[in-house]
Structure 1
Amino acid sequence: MSNDSRRLTIGALANEARVNVETIRFYQRKGLLPEPHKPHGGIRRYGELEVARVRFVKSAQRIGFSLDEIADLLRLEDGTHCDEASRLAEHKLDDIRAKLADLARMESVLSQLVCACHTRKGSVSCPLIASLQGSGQERIPGDAEPA
């Protein structure tokens, strides 16, 4: 992959890409970054293409792509498969929106339970604990009715 004049050691590559050396090795094991040839008695060298690839992987991770999804995106890295890349991104966006909906539901339920804890009176059991134990005294809002 390295076809430029900069010849970096793995440590320099990691430093340039703002990751640690183990991240580079992990990406190589996962097939996200090719391992360059090691000359007899020498050390492997990397270039700007590898720096760019590691940065690509980190950028994709920051917006929620898994390493498997990133591998799919890397297969499209020549930039001529925009429709395919768009489909992958749309699928990821759907996943993120579903997670956001789940988080909103969890926030609402937990908020109701915390409120119930703060408004309880006397020696009744804790509404949060009771709902998590499924004691029947308190049902977790949003849970399906038992069959």
Structure 2
Amino acid sequence: MNIGQAAKQSGLSAKMIRYYEDIGLIDAAKRTDAGYRIYTEQDVKTLNFIRHARELGFSAEQMKGLISLWKNTDRSSAEVKQLALKHIDDLNQKIKTLQEMVNTLEQSVSCCAGNESPDCSILEHIEKGH
């Protein structure tokens, strides 16, 4: 199948598929004599795997590790679990950081009069780094 068909079946854009090939997440596609990329059903399965991993917030580097583990039938599930647990820790840290940002902004917003005056506590807090 061509890249457009692979894109449709995987839910990824052709541009993303080319990008994933460029960074080594997927193997370079075979080409026709005219130079068009050709994808197999297994390539589409890999693209779907990548899309799902991306939806879970895995980075490109993490996805490389996941794909390697996914393709390696001799691996132990403990290796996969370790990678997933590390990702959970990373996500929890991001959640904590985002919640701190929300709290800071809520505090700034609560101090803002929100009227016609040019004085703005939100901008002052941002300027001062609070």
TM over 0.5: yes
Q: Distance in 2 between matches of 1:126 and 1:74?
A: 49
Q: CA deviation at 1:43?
A: 4.3
Q: Aligned runs of 1:1-147 on 2, under 5 Å? A: 8-41=1-34, 43-77=36-70, 78-79=72-73, 80-118=75-113, 125-134=119-128, 140=130
Aligned length in residues: 127
SS in 1 for 2:112: helix
Q: CA deviation at 1:109?
A: 1.4
Q: CA deviation at 1:39?
A: 5.0
**Which structure would you say has the larger Rg?**
1
Q: CA deviation at 1:38?
A: 2.8
Higher helix share: 2
Uncovered stretches (5+) of structure 1, i.e. residues with no partner: 1-7, 141-147
Q: Distance in 1 between matches of 2:39 and 2:48?
A: 14
| RMSD of aligned residue pairs (Cα, Å) | 2.4
The range that moved more, 125-134 or 34-43, is 34-43
1:113 maps to a residue whose letter is S
Cα-to-partner distance string for 1:54-75 (whole Å, 9 max, x where unaligned) = 0000100001101111001111
Q: Structure 1 vs Structure 2: percent identity of aligned residues?
A: 27
Q: CA deviation at 1:132?
A: 2.4
Cα-to-partner distance string for 1:57-97 (whole Å, 9 max, x where unaligned) = 01000011011110011110135331111111111111110
Cα-to-partner distance string for 1:91-142 (whole Å, 9 max, x where unaligned) = 111111011111111111111111111399xx794322222232xxxx83xx
Q: Distance in 2 between matches of 1:119 and 1:9?
A: 55
Cα-to-partner distance string for 1:18-75 (whole Å, 9 max, x where unaligned) = 2222221111111111123335457442221011000000100001101111001111
1:128 maps to a residue whose letter is I
